[in-house]
A and B are shown apart, each in its own frame.
Chain A
Amino acid sequence: MTIKNKVFITTTSSISCGGNSCDELWDNICTQKSGITIQKDYFHNSIPAIGKINSSNSFYKDLIIQCQNILDKSDLINFDETLLIIGSSVGGMSTTEDLFFKTSSYKDIDTNSHNIDTISIILQQKFNFYDDISFSTACTSSANAIGYAYEVLGKGIYKNALVVGVDSLCQTTVGGFLSLGVLSSAPCKPFDENRDGMNVAEAIACVLLETKSKKNSVEVCGVGYSSDAYHMTMPHLDGAKTAMTNALKLANITPNQINYINAHGTGTKANDTSEANAISETFETITKVSSTKSITGHTLGAAGAIEAIICTQAILNQTIPTSTNLNTIENKEVNFSTSTRKEDINYVLSNSFAFGGNNCSLVFGKVGRN
């Protein structure tokens, strides 16, 4: 990839079960306040622990509020020159479910309210973006969206880009993960020997990317992609290693320069074993690692964007967050962060992996780093 412009995350806004703002999310991660709750009435015959946004607004009203926050907090007057990049795995699925379950028929379903681009239709009506594009690669959707934003700004094709990682809870995803036997009925324990599964969650995470650094900006230094070409749901460590290595190569740094990895770390047996092995084979123990999904849950298509915000906060606060619920480390070759503490941080890497063996790693750097 030929990148000629530097690209910066200049403004962020988010809402998730981990917090109703980016600052609240960061505080809750550092102080280990999980937003995961037990939902007795959510899905028949099961009691999954899931991450539901605590808001009195409708999901789509919160979506508009988060994007408005970006306008209010940034230098932009409007989004007339902004490329909108959506990352979502389910789009308008919860609307479709509501309509279908009422009548057991498709008659009332509007495809404009069902498809992935439902999100961009809503936001275009409200804000009038220069153009839009929607990515849907399951749990890497918004990581790929940030990678695309980095590419199009880095190549000088667009002036700025707003990535919106967004997924709302729906019975399809909760029931689907239940069918795979990977849902925990308690807040998840990523990388713990006794972990028993993941927590499906919802989130809206907005990340404005520009080619000029502003106050409190973080640089996007590289992206690495790969495909496992192995199995639909079982990850392969070679794919994860390739994505991380490709991201480091594009950032032109060595593994030892990464101070912190925000792992995909879902809490499932398969992901965490594979990812920990990939990390231990790529990085030395100088690099600290944690997963923040025990606080946010797995926000699926929004995960890449919400974790990019967490990485941004880690760099701006020069703080490595702890690993909540990690009591018995399974892979002792990895240097897991076991307390939240101040460190000199120049570079952070964020991993996102998805069904189909779709992998994306992002490298973020401190502005004015050594």
Chain B
Amino acid sequence: MTINLEILESSYIYDPIQIEELNTKELVPKMVTRRRLTRASKIAIYLASKISSKDERIVYGSSFGELEATSNILHSINDKTMISPTHFQNSVYNTAISYLSMLNNNKSEIITISSGVNTSLKVLQAGAIKALDGDTISLFVIDALNIAKIDELNNCIDFLECGVALKVKVTEEKETFDCENISNNENFPKSLINMLNIAKSINKDKKNIIKIKL
């Protein structure tokens, strides 16, 4: 079975170490909220502002989840010190998208997928299935891996912070480009690659329609 999706909006951002221009101060005016945000939350909020995601249903994906909070907890246990409650509440995989829902007062269905290197493919598939109901769906995939001593774990990813977002709806129209055969010569996290390739191939002057195979 296949489902065709029209890409209504798209945005992506990445950096080898840490993305600087996330505009968090303007997007999250309350300092008390801003201080609790994880890196992935800040990237999610930035991307949502770029694709005008407000109260749509959201399918979010992350392969590694909240690596920094997880790492902080591991160090606390190892050092026999108290775990920070904030680190623990920020360690769940749906943290980033939950902060976004609070910021936008989005009370809709929001699911989080973590399927390793296939995460963005699964986000596209789940998003397509949900979009069959006729509404517009926001899709996000983010991995933020910039933690201390990440080199002990990482030897293949050149971009430690990456995020991509698409706003999609189902269409009966024919696909305008083949999202399976887009070349990729850079070492982005594989978890984002399907959606990142689509976002990078968007032609703003025409309709962009992709075919999702299930």
Contacts and interface: CB of A to CB of B under 8 A. Distances in A.
Interface residues of A, number: 62
B85 A179 contact: yes
B76 interface: yes
Interface string A40-82: 0000110000000000000000000000000000000000000
B58 to A, nearest CB: 9
Contact of B113 (A2, A100, A134): A134
14 contacts: A133-B113, A134-B122, A136-B113, A144-B111, A157-B129, A172-B77, A176-B73, A176-B91, A225-B108, A232-B90, A355-B89, A356-B98, A356-B99, A357-B102
B93 A116 contact: yes
A41 to B, nearest CB: 14
Interface of A: 1-2, 44-45, 89, 91, 93, 96-97, 100-101, 104-107, 109, 111-112, 115-117, 120-121, 132-138, 144, 148, 151-152, 155, 157-158, 171-172, 175-180, 225-233, 238-239, 242, 354-358
B109 A226 contact: yes
Q: How large is the interface on B (under 10, 10 to 19, 20 to 34, 35 or more residues)?
A: 35 or more
Given A105-B152, A106-B149, A134 B83 contact: no
A176 B63 contact: no
A135 B111 contact: yes
A229 B93 contact: no
A227 B98 contact: yes
Contact of A148 (B97, B104, B111, B133): B111
Given A135-B111, A136-B113, 16 more contacts: A101-B77, A106-B149, A106-B153, A111-B153, A116-B115, A117-B118, A158-B214, A175-B88, A176-B88, A177-B88, A179-B82, A225-B111, A229-B101, A357-B98, A358-B94, A358-B112
Contact of A178 (B83, B99, B104, B109): B83
Contacts of A132: 115
Nearest to B71: A106
A136 B94 contact: yes
B1 A157 contact: yes
Q: Binding site of A, secondary structure by majority: helix, strand, loop or mixed?
A: mixed
Contacts of B214: 157-158
B2 to A, nearest CB: 11
B136 interface: no
A179 B88 contact: yes
A232 B112 contact: no
B91 to A, nearest CB: 7
Given A115-B114, A172-B91, A229-B101, A133 B122 contact: yes
A148 B105 CA distance: 24
Contacts of B126: 133, 148
A141 to B, nearest CB: 8
Nearest to A173: B88
Contact of B129 (A155, A176, A180): A155
Contact of B64 (A115, A135, A180): A115
B110 A175 contact: no
A47 to B, nearest CB: 16
Nearest to B130: A151
B113 A356 contact: no
A230 B77 contact: no
A270 B201 CA distance: 47
A239 to B, nearest CB: 7
Closest 7 CB pairs of A and B: A356-B98, A176-B88, A225-B109, A136-B93, A116-B114, A117-B116, A106-B152
A231 B86 CA distance: 12
Given A138-B93, A148-B111, A176-B88, A104 B78 contact: yes
Nearest to A358: B94
